[in-house]
Structure 1
Amino acid sequence: MSRKHDEIEPKSVAELRVGTFRFIKNTKELLDAEGQTVPLRSQSADVLAYLADRPGDLVTKAELIEAVWPDTFVTDDSLVQCIGDIRRALGDKKQRLVQTYPKKGYRLVDTSAPGALRRPALSQASRRWALPAFGAMAAAVLILFAAWVYKGAADLPVDLGDKPRIAVLSFDDFSVGPDKGYLSDAIAEGVITELARSSRIAVIARNSSFRYRDSDADVRQIGQELGVHYIVEGSQQKSGDSLKVTVQLILAASGEHLWAHTYDQEIGSLFAVQDAIVKTVADRIGVRIERPVPGSDPAMVSALHFHLQGIAIIHDSFDEASNAKDLVLNRRAIEADPGSQFGYIGLAHGYRAAATFGWQGLERQEALRLGLQNAKKALRIAPDDAAVHFALARLYDESGDRAMAMASFDKAIALNPSASNYLVGSTNPMLYAGQAKEAVERLKQAMGIDPFHQDWFHWQMGWALWELQDCEGALAAMMKMKKIDRGAHRMLAGIYACLDQVEKAQEAYKVFYAEAHEPTISEQRAEWQDIWTAPGSLDRWLDDMRVAGMKD
């Protein structure tokens, strides 16, 4: 049974040597080689103190959480953040001092002990578990190897073509209190967007690079999993009107740090810092980006902050109440800075959602009008912002204006080629218009820049292949989904009907319409005939729906 930290009998020594550092146990103070105190957050110091009581031992995550947060419910994320904080304080980038045992826990190395940097031996039980697990792991590695077609030894750079490929990881957020949240992702996303605008760099999509948030994965492992040459990682700390951003450029194959810098600026200089990072990173990998340096703009940063709060609420819960809060926050963004695009972009998306789902007591056409009005205001302010054109594209798509939707999607993609969701979203109007081959190419492109793409990419590919009458390929695409949600079962029903698998088509059809209004064939034709204009596609779809169980 785990015991709380103050119940554990302390070791006889009052301090522990860890690398060139000393940890004073009774005061929970970390000292560097010169005897200077190294700052640690209180919870990080508590975690280090618990590990220091058991140097060389494997301490489970459950024990650490119970010891440091005895009366509070927390997830592993809180512990991972503390471990990351400790490693940064110790300069332990290679994890030699604080060692991770995946899915188990952590071990603190007492470097004054003989053989301190060796891993503890496995018990007999652990050996029995490890052997079959190794077989499964080897199989997984072989699958990954075949999927990525790596060439040469594992420690050599991956053959990725002519363009340098780069992944920007989510930045750590060391802000506290009301200053914590939102800006870290904004900085990293801005770097992704601006780097992607260069046709000479291939940038991994946010969805894939941000999945390593709070991960202990080594940069070399990340580099291979994402298939990149370079990795950018960093952190930000906002305190009042001050902003501190630290950033590093790393060679993925070796883990070598090519460049690192810390920016201490006023908060209004956020966009200038972002721009400086982009230009320096690009220059270091051999691509020069020349643009005017943004000036200081505190009001614009405030507007961005309100806009990002709205996005966080929508991501957490997509419903009418969240939509209302999102609209309020984006109106506050406009109040903070009427001359920046962020609030208008947020209102454009918010009103589109209101039109789609009948929220906020607005008639559909009125909600779409308000959405387009705000998107066009954003366009006048920031014609080169990819997010503006994406908002416009979605509104035009919802309004049934396919030509304008495609033009806006294309502009958004040109401005931010790393946005995999832009690419996949753009295939909607393409498929309705009969451009299925082009849609397949865009979907492949999206999957290429977003290796850990979401399930709906496969769903969209299923539709595209159905359009091309490759129903076997369409079914194979759908089966790649980790979980086929209820909403995807209508597409699955159409694919099974196309393959003459009537019973499976009817089963899938029933799943989709179990909690939804079931229309008739004639109602479906009336709803889609002006939108689904690809020659013969709507008739094929309605025939397949008839096979699946839809009444005339």
Structure 2
Amino acid sequence: MERRLSAIVAADVVGYSALMEKDEAATFERLRTRRTELFEPEIARHHGRVFKLMGDGLLAEFGSVIDAVECAVSLQRGMTERNAAVPEEERFDVRIGINTGEVIVDGEDRYGEGVNVAARLEQLALPAGICVSGKVAKEVEKKLAFGFDFAGRQKVKNIEEPIDVYHVRIDAQPRRRFLRRRLWRPLGVAATIMAALAAVWMALYGPLTTSSPGVSSTIPSVAVLPFKDLSADKSLGYLGEGVANDVIAILSRFSDIAVVSRTSSFAYQGKEGDIREIGEELGVGYVVEGSVRKEGDRVRIVAQLVNANTGDHVWADRFDKAGTDPWALQDELTGKIVGAMTGEFGAIRKADYSQAWGKDSTNLAEYDYYLRAESQLNLYTKEGLERSGEISRQGLKVFPGSSLLTVELGWSHWLKVGLLYSSDPQKDLQEAERLVNQVLADKNLSPQVTRLANWLNAWLLTLKRDHDGAIAAMNKAIAAAPYNAFTLTDAGSIFLQAGQPEKALELTDTAAARDPGLSWFFNYVRGFIYIVLGKNEEAVEVLKTTEFADAPLQLAIAYMRLGRDAEAQAAVAKMLKSAPAATIQSWRQAWNFRDNAILDQASADLARAGLPSQ
């Protein structure tokens, strides 16, 4: 068995499954063109050789680490240039990982830890970015002009020592710091990549924050298997694959979930096996599996989420839909499946909450503190918010400088004001602002922290009457997690206060389609939207379905405008029972409309309904 030291490059196309779903033939042709016009010439120019090509990706071997890094940068720059001339919906973004280490030579193929680590690094890379191991960064940092940003030490499954992870800054032009002679070795070179990474990605957890080098954080990892075709005539295989493809594509946009690539999980298509073994081989904490069946004109999809460590079912549901358009059925059912699993109230997060609380407090990681704090925050009670703040502060003592725990603490301060629990709203708002500004000063945040920080900042800017800044911040939060129904719903409140009620309603409608289980929240947001639009009957209908936050006060406003004074007074009394300190003054500190008349009129309605002024 031959072994040798090599530099391994791994890469894949971000969102390739979704692109194929839209136009399979055109997408494949564009990918082939990129390979023949960009990848193959660059690989040859940098003395590289592709040893594995699968679907949307490839793995390559180089005899020189410098060649590998320079080739990867050239590829990303080439992709950027080509994307500039392509419509946004047709663009390819590539993620690249590079490692150097010993590999096992098996004919034309390569195996071993050197390959496995490169594959894991590719999963940690940002779209259009390059992620390298500490060994690579150390080898080339004094030989090339590219900068490297340390992203912390990441513990990955089946690798004993944590991996030092670096992101390459590719804005600088490469500059050799010394001259060297290149020796051509026929067997020791290869190329760049777009990785299918197959079963080589075994990292149990992906990174959560890249801003705290001394902190180790984890996020849940998921593999989605093709849904089995249980129809009598076996005619729904395309639908089973399509649903799994869509679930993978959508989950990959959630900043707090790591998803195994389609190529890796689809390797198990048609195979029977223990979910625990599959989870072990793919290195994930959860596995999504299911089936599709057709009965008459009705399609039935069964989906389930399994804990890959224990084999226990975390969540399962059945989705039925009648119709003749398979693509419409696929879109709707996929949205419901993803909505049930994701977000602050989804099955994955709930399972993680339970696991975090089940751990000994002396062994909590940074992410465990966050999960414990978030589970209390999401109770939306005064006691829950106090407890959430305490847990975040405890975590910051163990992990000082944690952006994740800092922004979580900021949220607890803001929600005390927003839910009318604060005894000193101005003090809580000032502390929330200080904490979020501290986090946003770091320009190297993870998508998860980017979402939470910009989302919180949008509220704080709204209260300072910087509505344009609030919309910009909210758009950044949405961009970090565009499929998060909870964030989309709350964005409706930001756009409403900025004077865009139609856009606000559009956002809540989108969220409702993706996660019907959030009806208590998007109906709450819709209530104020309807009030502003003068649709008070509609406002009453949706606000009667929820008691979240100040919903009783909004309901009182709608009742007053419909001349139903007694019901308005009862709604205010209900609010005062849950939040005795609520006053018109404290309520106004949680809202700030671009049009002052909206809040003035609402305050007058609440005064007539019996809410104390201060």
Fold match by TM threshold 0.5: no
Greater strand proportion? 2
TM-score range, shorter chain: 0.3 to 0.5
Q: How high is the TM-score relative to the length of structure 1? A: 0.43
Tell me: higher relative CO, structure 1 or 2? Use CA pairs within 8 A at least 6 residues apart.
2
